[in-house]
Each structure stands twice: as C-alpha cells, then as structure tokens.
Amino acid sequence: MTFDWRTDWKRTVLWGASFGVAAVMTLFVLFAALNWYTSRPKGWDTNAIKGISSTMSQTFTIDNNQFKATGFSASFIVENKTSRDFTLQTLQFYGRDVKSQALEEVKLTLDHQFAIPAHERTEVTASMDYSCSASDLVTGATRERDGKECFQDALGDVSEFVAFDKGSHTRLNLPKPVFYAGKEPSPDFIPASAAVAPDHAKPWDEAWGCSEARRLAPICKRDKIELGEEQAVAGGWTLVGPLPTMIRPPKGYLLDPSPETCKIMYQWDFYCQRNGKSK
C-alpha cells in the first residue's frame, strides 16, 4: 500500500492532534496530582522531639532593693530522636486541663531560638508574665503571694504542656513543670551592699553574674531592648570604667528581663565574653 498525501494527510493531522491533546491532558493530571500532594494538610510529627523533664521558677524584678515577682521561667529538657538537626524558632504552647482534657493556650514565650542536634538533649527555656500580687478587698492592702501559691493559681489545673513548632511541623509533648523556688525564702528587702558585678566580685559571684548575663542577653535582644551608646561607653560596654552592679537574688530565684536589668546584662555579657568567662 502506498501513501497518497492527497487523500491521507487529514488522517495524519488528526492523529497528531489527538496525540497532542492526550499529552496535554496527561501533563495536566500529573500537575494537579503533584499540586494536591504538596499542598495537602500534613500531620504533626509527634515522635521527632521528646520531652524529658521540666522545672519552673519565679522571675523577679528589683525596685528600690525590693523584690517583686513578675512571672515564671520554664526549663524543658528535650531529646531529638531523629538523625537530623532541629532549630526551634517559635513555639505555640498549650496546657491540658485536668478535668476536661482540653488544650488551652498558655502565654509562654520561647526565650530565643534553640538548636537541637541529632540524637542529643537540649535545655529549652520559655517565660511567661504573671502577677503574684493579691489585694485585700476590705483594706485595699496588697501583698505578694508565696511562689508555690502563685504557681498553683497559674498552672494548678494543667496536667501537661503541648507545644507546636509550625516551622518544622513538630508537636512536643512536655511534662508539667515542677515548681522550684530554692531553699531560701524570697526576701522583702535586700541591702544595697549585697550588689555585685562580674568585674569586681568573688569567684562564685562572678560565675553567677556571667551565667545570668548569658541567660538574659538573648531574651533582652528578642524583646528589642537596646542600650544607648552614651550609656554603653559610660557604663562599661566598651570596658571604660567599672561595670554597674546588680543585687544577687537568693538561690533558686531568677531575674526578670526588664529594660533596667537588660541594660546591665548586656554590659555584663560583653565583659564575660571578652574575658572568656561566658561558658
């Protein structure tokens, strides 16, 4: 049989057009399937990071040598169960209600980003504002409640924490923190003579100062608390003159990252890093 272009060209054109349409339809179906697969809702990974333990301490600010509770600082020990590194940038915290078992949002804020190497444990800290002041409706007098009483009021009906990291789509099941207040009672007043600074302190006070500066400096930066240039030079940011002093709280009590405290912690942290004390 011979091909006669004068009679069979229509068949060739029709066959080519049918092939083209089929190819386009196939590509469209593949693209739609790929788009559905990549945009479908993904389940939360509940096995990547495991909560090991947690504790919570009160944070304080010092005003005229007097302590005032401002909230709580939580410390979570977590373990990366995978073979890849994780970086927690932000976490949305929820508490599980003891009675209803429902999750309710808890105003905990991650102190800063935390890197969790593969198959390693890391301490992750977060903080929350919570007033422990109580007013007498009859007399109008205000008192600071005991730390345990305040902790019970804030989180007494929570059985566990659940945190979600949207960046990695990871869910963290965290045990409820155990409240730690230290063995010493919180004093109402501390003499100014108890103030210390890393550059002119005893070794144990220097170690505390550098440790506290290392803890607070990232939180202060997260809250965008800045130190003015003139104050930095005058206060010791550039190691001109002695460092400003801060009253050291009793063991088990933490300083709150208030603007006043942060301006001192920035200078302490700079000094400690410059002198190899920030470890």
Among residues 130, 154, 179, the one where a domain terminates is 179
Parent domain of 103: 49-179
Same domain, 230 and 131: no
pLDDT tens for each residue of 204-223: 889 999 998 998 888 888 88
Task: Enumerate the β-bridge partners of residue 30.
Answer: none
User: Which span out of 100-114, 143-157, 248-262 was modeled with the highest average pLDDT?
Assistant: 100-114
CA distances from 258 to 107, 151, 224, 266 (A): 18, 21, 11, 12
Same domain, 175 and 56: yes
Residue 266 falls inside a structural domain:
yes
Among residues 129, 144, 179, the one where a domain terminates is 179
Query: For residue 45, with 0-12 CB atoms within 10 Å meaning exposed, 13-18 middle and 19 or more buried, which class applies?
Result: middle
Domain count, the chain: 2
pLDDT at residue 50 in the model: 93
pLDDT at residue 130 in the model: 87
DSSP 8-class letter at 45: B
Same domain, 173 and 56: yes
Instruction: Classify 16 in phi/psi space as left (phi over 0), alpha (psi -120 to 50) or beta.
Output: alpha
Residue 262 falls inside a structural domain:
yes
Name the residue with tokens 């405290």: 261
Helix axes 259-274, 203-222, angle to 10 degrees: 120
The more confidently predicted of residues 19 and 85 is 85
Same domain, 150 and 232: no
Same domain, 131 and 71: yes
Whether residue 80 contacts residue 87, with contact meaning beta carbons closer than 8 Å, is answered with no
The CATH number covering residue 119 comes to 2.60.40
Same domain, 173 and 232: no
Residue 86 falls inside a structural domain:
yes
Same domain, 75 and 130: yes
Same domain, 75 and 113: yes
Residue 203 falls inside a structural domain:
yes
**pLDDT at residue 251 above 80?**
no
Average pLDDT score, the chain: 79
pLDDT band at residue 10, thresholds of 50, 70 and 90? low
Residue 197 falls inside a structural domain:
yes
Among residues 125, 145, 179, the one where a domain terminates is 179
Same domain, 203 and 171: no
Which ranges in the chain belong to alpha helices (H)?
5-39, 147-155, 203-222, 229-235, 259-274
CB atoms within 10 A of CB 221: 14
Same domain, 167 and 247: no
Q: What is the pTM of this model?
A: 0.71
pLDDT at residue 246 in the model: 85
Distance from C-alpha of 88 to C-alpha of 96, rounded to nearest angstrom: 21
**What helix, strand, coil percent values describe the chain, rounded to 5?**
35, 30, 35
Residue 166 falls inside a structural domain:
yes
Residue 257 falls inside a structural domain:
yes
Residue 27 falls inside a structural domain:
no
Name the residue with tokens 């349409």: 21
Same domain, 139 and 230: no
Same domain, 174 and 198: no
